[in-house]
Structure formats: structure tokens, C-alpha cells
Structure 1
């Protein structure tokens, strides 16, 4: 079974972006960025919500095109449409849980959950995220988009790996352990 890995940058106060969706304040240079970009090569599939996909438009992404050229893209949205999409970009607008459970049964690499917070919270609530890779930035936003949206799901985390960068960024890898009564 393929794992879903939520691989995301966050602040010390658990925000993945400012309220307006911008990420100003995250450290954008250093070996942690190089390591992150190299780690993307290990994924062949990416999941993301509509707002995360549309975030790419500010960086030159064209509607319907893949944000990561070597990955199959599954964008979860009930409102997003494309006039023309590549064969790598698919919109999932219904039966999300069944689709993801089926996708996890297919052959391939672990699945990259790119975001965002609300979508990650939805997946956490349905016990579909297996691992959490946090790029913990030494910054506080005070308010913003929470790591898991409005989810109140209680889980235990088993620390699998840590890496400390000279920039002050920490890479923390956890296995998510869902409570049996959940």
C-alpha cells in the first residue's frame, strides 16, 4: 500500500501560509531548499487542494498544467475546471475518500500531499495521511492558514527522523499513529 506523506513547510506556530495565502517569511534559500527539491524526485504522484494548485499561478504555472512535471496530479476541487489540461492533471470533484483509498492500493512511490491546510485536515480526519514531513521554519506568523485547517483530530506522532540545517530550519519526519477509537 502506498503511503501519503504530507510534506510541508510550517512556522513554529503551525501555519503553512499567511491568511492571504502568501508565504513571505519562510526561508527560501539554503540547503534545506535544495534537499526539499531533491526529495520531490522520489514522488510520482501529488495530491493538492484547489487553492494550493492556484497558488502556483503566481509563479508562472498555467491552468491545467502540472506543477511538478514528473508527477501525476490530482487536484481536489468542486469548482475548478480547465479548458485544456495535460494528461498529468486530473480534477477529483466527488467520492474523494474512495478515490484516495483506491489510489493508495496502486503501484508507485509514496504519494506527496502538497497541501493545503483544509485539505490536509480533511485527509487527517479520514485517517488517510501516513507520514508528516515538517520543514519547521524559525519564524512566527501569529495568524494564518493552520497546518491542518480546522481539524481537531487527535493523533500520536512517532518521530522517525530529524535534520537540523544551518539556516535554523528543522526537518522533522513523523509517522502518524491514529487512535483506534477514532
Structure 2
């Protein structure tokens, strides 16, 4: 039996927003053209090469599908939803239910799991204690308002800095281990 690790790897504005109020991530486009929206050239590729499965919410799933070709190859992708959507590939599975039960099943089935987003799913995984590592790419933008990554919470979590990388574009990638 394996005990997989779940990593939240996500880009956020310096003021903590992952999207504009309308859900748009267009503000990331200028950094994507440089290859650094994900923290830097090679950073995402190295991370993704080690990933066995992905988990995301329905809104994130629909947004990724709208970008064109499915970027996650044939890796198992679990989409939390109560609705029916077209499957991007045969590797996509729609799931519903409690996050704690789903996370436990995924941790038993896969060694390295990427928690892609969105904000509600992230908050649920954090609340249930199922995020082992946090990788934030802080994009040098203050959006002022939008969809907050963490929102408000009554839980305090200690973070241990494992690594930080600064890129020429001003993006700072922070990698933390999450304590209890």
C-alpha cells in the first residue's frame, strides 16, 4: 500500500488571487510567452514528469479544456463534480463525494498527485489535511480583487520553506512542506 503525496502547484498574484473576478487567467498570458508562468523554464516540466495523477474541480477542468489540446497526456485526472461533462480523454474520471475519502483513495493509488485547482477544491483539501506540499509561483502582479486562493480560514498551518527560486521576470517560486 502506498501513501501518496498531494502537491498544490499553482500560480497566484502577489496579493493571493488565482483568477480575476470573472474567472479569467488572462493576466498570466504575458508570463506564459516567456515560459515562466509556471515558475520558470524547466520547472514545470520537471514537476510534471514526476506526477502520476491530477485532481481538479469542474470549473478548472472546463477552463483547461477551453485552452485547446488536453495538456495532461494520459495521466489519470480526477474531476470533482456532480455534473456531467464531456471527457477530454479516457484518463479523465468524474468523481463526487467527500474530499477526505477521495484524497485517501488517491493517496493509496498514486505516489505523486497534483492538486491543480480551483480555489474551492484547494480549500477543501487543505481543510481535510490532504496537502503535503505547496508550490506557489508568485506572479509580480497585484490584481486587487478576484478569486482568492486561500480565502478565510480558522485553521493555522505552519509551512517549512524547502526551496525558493527567483526568475528574471520577477516570478518567485516558493516550495513549502505543510505542517499539521
TM more than 0.5: yes
Q: Give the superposed CA RMSD.
A: 1.9
| Partner Cα distance (2:163, 2:87) in 1 | 41
Cα distance 1:143–1:72, how it changes in 2: closer, same or farther (>3 A)? same
Unaligned runs of 5+ in 1: none
Cα distance 1:165–1:82, how it changes in 2: closer, same or farther (>3 A)? same
Unaligned runs of 5+ in 2: none
| Partner Cα distance (1:142, 1:112) in 2 | 27
Q: How many residue pairs were aligned? A: 172
Farther off after superposition, 89-98 or 5-14:
89-98
The residue that corresponds to 2:80 in the other structure is 76
The residue that corresponds to 1:6 in the other structure is 8
Listed one character per residue, the Cα deviations across residues 84-123 of structure 1 (whole Å, up to 9, x for unaligned) are: 66431111112332121122122x4410010011110011
Farther off after superposition, 20-29 or 144-153:
144-153
1:49 paired to 2:52? no
Contact 2:65 2:88 in 1 (8 A): no
Contact 2:99 2:128 in 1 (8 A): no
TM score, norm. by length of structure 1: 0.86
Contact 2:99 2:124 in 1 (8 A): no
Pairing 1:20-169 to 2, within 5 Å after superposition: 20-26=22-28, 27-28=31-32, 29-31=34-36, 32-61=40-69, 67-79=71-83, 81-82=84-85, 86-106=89-109, 108-169=110-171
